[in-house]
Structure 1
Amino acid sequence: MSSHHEGHEPLTPPGADVSSRFRLDGKVAIVTGGTRGIGLSVACTLARAGARVMLSSRKADHVDSAVRALRAEGHEVQGLVANMGKPREAHELAARTVEHFDGIDIIVNNAATNPIFGPLQQATADAFDKIFDVNVKGPFELCKTAHAVMVERGGGAIVNVSSIGGITPEAGLGLYSMSKSALISLTKVMAQEWGADGIRANAICPGLIRTRFSAALWQDGDIADKVLGHQPIRRIGVPDDVAGLALFLASDASAYCTGAVYMVDGGYLA
């Protein structure tokens, strides 16, 4: 749907700096799973755009090294050890962010787990619970806790990192694919219910990205060849491919975007 009105003034004044719409100066961002791979790339990108960043992961040494690296670039960054599969720790992440930075404007739910690979018959109830606790309940608990803080600041942006498996289940990744599909649905519910509060929610679905998390896939020559043979862009993605889209969705450049699902998959699902 589109409309055009004669004499309508352009949104951006002539000669304006377009890059300013992508700036995050004065904003506070939380990036879960923000110490390696996609999460670290997103944390770096948001910080370089001017955001103050709270990053988290389960391992203290990973948090420390990521915080040191970003501070060495001159960014205002804090880190917290938090397991997103434990609601109390998700709540603490929100509270500590407000404590350090006086607010929350952006949440990037990137933390995820997938302890099993194989058919559903081999999946245990424990594995089911662990995957859904981290991949779905974690984002739910963190965002629900941060909601009032974001509303107080006039709104915000939530970016949920799902997967192409959330659109089309990936072989051997049944429970993981199910959880990522649920995360997409959660994103749409947030968009519908919180839009009036000025909070936008969007989902990113990466394809095969060269990270340690997905190493079992891209290091397998047969799997990599099969994926690349199906992609118009014939290379494996890198974390920065995802971070650029995350910056767009976190910034005012995407002010009219909510409830949407964006692929970063080299055209795999095209």
Structure 2
Amino acid sequence: MTHDHDALLSLFDHEMRERARPDGPGVRVERTADVVRQVGAASDWNGVVWSAPDLDAVRADAAIAAQVERFTELGLAEFEWKLYAHDRPADLGQRLRAAGFVAEEPETLLVAPVADLPTTVELPEGVRLRTVTDAADVELMARAHERAFGSDWSRLRHQVLARLTEAPDSFVGVLAMVGDEPVSSARMELYPGTGFAGLWGGGTVEPWRGKGIYRALVAFRAAIATERGYTYLQVDATEQSRPILQRLGFTALSTTTPYVYRRTA
């Protein structure tokens, strides 16, 4: 286990990006000399997860054009190039925009050794946590997410249901409940053979924010990651969650920006 910033970033790039595994049933990873990409159905996440660290300007433009061609021939209306701040060439983002990609909000890549994180769950009165076990629970996750973030959860609903039914050992879903009402939801994706598990979600509905539910969800999942032998937890954090996670022991390694290509015809 390492705490060194550069060594940890290098490990993440190698294990989670260059050696990426399919993130769910029915998807596959394709590798070329200069990129690693994931492809699946329209309801899956499709995109580029890694590009060669020695990518130069000429090869970058060729790689971008090749990805547009590949995803177009697959009949997909959109795909994402997941760009990290340390990726090369330094102007790769500009080259993606010139090719028709649109940059969305950047997030901070945070990583923490599981052993350094709190695992004691402390909840406000009236709130309880429970794991997601069936399709009805997934609907509760969707309700909490849509209320917390104001965004549609239909694509994630498909992905979570597929994980829960076809690869349950690679997924942990958790709900924060007040009575029969979900007030927060989160999930953890497990990547066997990497030492990493990823934290996702964690949105809390407005009346229950600032009461420690988000921290409790992190501790709950950290305890499970510990039990299952994972070494690191990884988060792509928004600016709302980043300060909380850093106070809990996460370290910022880089930033990541989704560059999305959408076909217009």
TM-score between both structures, scaled by the size of structure 1: 0.31
Q: Which has the higher contact order (CA 8 A, sep 6+)?
A: 2
Larger fraction in strand: 2
More helix by share: 1
TM-score, scaled to structure 2: 0.32
